[in-house]
Structures are given as C-alpha cells and as structure tokens.
Amino acid sequence: MEENLHTMRTPFRFAAALALTGAMVAACSSAASPTPAPSAAPSAAPSIAATPAASPSTAVVPSPSPDPCAPANLKLVTAGMLTIGTDNPAYPPYYQPPATGNAPKPWQLGDPTNGQGFESAFAYALAAKLGFAKDKVTWIVVPFDTSYAPGAKKFDLDVNQVSYTADRAKVVDMSDGYYFLSQAVVALKTSPLAKVTSIAGLKGYKFGAQQGTTSYDTIVNVIQPAAKPSVYTSNDDAISALKAKQIDGLVVDLPTAFYVTAAQLLDAKGNALANIVGQFPVQAGAAAEHFSAVLAKGSPVTACVNQAIAALKADGTLDQATKEWLADKADAPIFGP
C-alpha cells in the first residue's frame, strides 16, 4: 500500500479527482435533501484571492523534484490516509443523514462518510484534489473544543463549520475560506420579532445562540440588545428555549437557519413554526466571515489544503457543492441598519 502511494507523484490527479467529484455530485443530486432546491441564481459566495502556491488546474506540469503535497510526501496522522475530523452529531446541511436508516456508528444524524452534505462533499473533493481516493479518507469524531487543545492532533484537518478569527488563527492553522457565510435571526411566526426588518428594531428582544459561535458575537457586537443573551451548549438546546419562548430570537448561520426552520422547528403536523426573520449584511472582502478547516499550528499540510481549495474554486467544484447543498442566500431578506 505504501509502495503504491509512492508512485503517485503528480501534483493533483485531476482526471481522477474530477471524475470522482462528478460521480459524487451525480450521486448527491438523486438523494433526498431537506434543503430547498438550489436556484439557478449564481452563488453569492465571493471568491478569495488565490494563494501564491495555488497551481492553476489547466497546467499539469510533471515536476522532477518531489512534490511536497503528494500523498506520499505529506506528514499525516496515519501515513497514506487523510484523517478528517468533525463534531458528532454532524448536522445537515453540512452533513446529510443517509436516505434510509441511521448513520453508521459512531455518527449520529449526519453521516460524514457518504459524501453528501456541503462539508462532506467539500472534504471529499478536497481529498481528491490532494490525491486521496474516497477509501483513503478516514473520519473521526472531534468535538469542537478539543480541535484546538494543545498537544498532538488526532486529525490532519478538521472540517466543522469553524469560522475564521485572527485570535483563533494564533493557536491553530486555519485554511483559506471554503464558504462565506452570513448570520441570520430565526423567530417563531407568532412572535412580534418576526416582523422586524432592521438591526435597530432587534434591540428590544431577547436572543440566544450556541456557545463559542460567531452567532453569539453577532448578538453582542451587531444587535447589541438590551437583554443579556442566553447561551446554550448546542443549537438543539437553543431551539428548545425558542420553542419554550425563553428567547425571542435564535441567531445561527444562514444555512443552519434554513435547516432549523425547515426541519427542526415544526409542529406535530410538520408545519413550520418559525421563519428566518432576516440575515445580517456581510462585510466585503477578506473581512467577511468564512469557514476554515482547522489544522495543527505550523502543519505542512495547510499550504497543500489552501492550494487544493484554490483549485476547487478555480474549477467550479466548490460553487457547485455550495449550490447543491446550501440554500441560496438571496432567499432570506437582509436587515437594514
């Protein structure tokens, strides 16, 4: 097995990667998805500047010197295997549950190993760009707050909707963004909050968010409400609090907002109890909030991951996965000031 991998020295096995991605996308589109059908409008995700190391997907120049990003040359947790971490349960629309039955153990709800859901699709496309076939990818459970614990990492990269912040990047390596997101407010249809259209109008309500999220930062820094926000261990707890009217509004990232309103906040008959009140306007350029893969500080893999992300952007794979799995941002109104 080791020997086979040593022979794979091309920077990216593009043909194989594209074939695999294509097959995966085809497989995905037939599966049932709770997210609204992707619209034909172009994705609003802005592209970021390509990293200097990014190699354009058109120029496959065989290099005589050993490529540091070839699978055999990467310093990995398990040689020859790409070990990817995410939290458990893995939530849609980032990780999709299988169409029937339960996710294989230890996974609850979403199944990272099926290539369905935005982050699973992204992770397999990334792995393919790096030269790892689907069976060379291992998934492990990495709770969010252990992903940055000191000491050796059990994963090569962690793909878990982690938003980039400068403080976080001091502790771990954070890849270039693979999804640019906005935060949104979810409220029960019966709440007066449901009719608010401006950020100023939000101030009089009580909000809740999951701990450790940039959603919480949005409450504190953008909404600046009069009432102290409630902070929950998980989004599920925050949803319970919203249902029990302990909070008026729940702040989550927009894809999660689409998921919770479509699949979690339902009455006994399956009718939606809550709506997305609106999304917050995003900052332009590099300051925009984005998800980054987490890697060990100073990991040699980071540069290769960034290179692969740039390639996925250049060849449209990332846009395609975004459209495939995440609802169109244009479907939620944007708050005025």
Nearest to 38 by CA among 290, 330, 233, 285: 330
CB of 17 to other proteins, least distance (A): 32
Q: Which stretch binds other proteins (CB under 8 A): 6-14, 36-44, 213-221, 272-280?
A: 213-221
Pairing of strands 157-158, 82-86: parallel
When binding is defined by CB under 8 A, the residue of 23, 27, 44, 149 that contacts other proteins is 149
Q: Is 222 exposed, middle or buried (0-12, 13-18, 19+ CB in 10 A)?
A: middle
82-86: strand order across its sheet: 137-141, 82-86, 157-158, 294-295, 173-174
DSSP, collapsed to helix, strand or coil, labels residue 93 as coil
When binding is defined by CB under 8 A, the residue of 45, 69, 72, 172 that contacts other proteins is 172
CA distance 35 to 92: 9
User: What element of type H or E holds 138?
Assistant: strand 137-141
Should residue 254 be labelled a site residue for other proteins when binding is judged by CB under 8 A?
no
When binding is defined by CB under 8 A, the residue of 139, 180, 232, 280 that contacts other proteins is 232
Should residue 319 be labelled a site residue for other proteins when binding is judged by CB under 8 A?
no
Q: Which stretch binds other proteins (CB under 8 A): 75-83, 176-184, 223-231, 275-283?
A: 223-231
User: What element of type H or E holds 27?
Assistant: helix 14-30
CB of 208 to other proteins, least distance (A): 6
When binding is defined by CB under 8 A, the residue of 245, 281, 286, 316 that contacts other proteins is 245
Residue nearer to other proteins on the CB measure, 41 or 220: 220
Q: State the binding string over 23-62 for other proteins (x if CB under 8 A, else -).
A: ----------------------------------------
Partners of 140 in beta bridges: 85
When binding is defined by CB under 8 A, the residue of 79, 145, 190, 316 that contacts other proteins is 145
Cα torsion 137, 99, 327, 193: sign: negative
Structure tokens given for 80: 């020859």
- How many residues touch other proteins (CB under 8 A)? 33
Nearest to 199 by CA among 228, 170, 227, 221: 221
Structure tokens given for 226: 């009069």
Should residue 151 be labelled a site residue for other proteins when binding is judged by CB under 8 A?
yes
Q: Which stretch binds other proteins (CB under 8 A): 6-14, 76-84, 120-128, 245-253?
A: 245-253
DSSP, collapsed to helix, strand or coil, labels residue 174 as strand
Q: Which stretch binds other proteins (CB under 8 A): 109-117, 127-135, 145-153, 249-257?
A: 145-153
Structure tokens given for 68: 């540091």
Binding site for other proteins (CB under 8 A): 144-145, 148-151, 165, 167-168, 170-172, 208, 211-213, 216-217, 228-233, 237-238, 240-241, 243-247
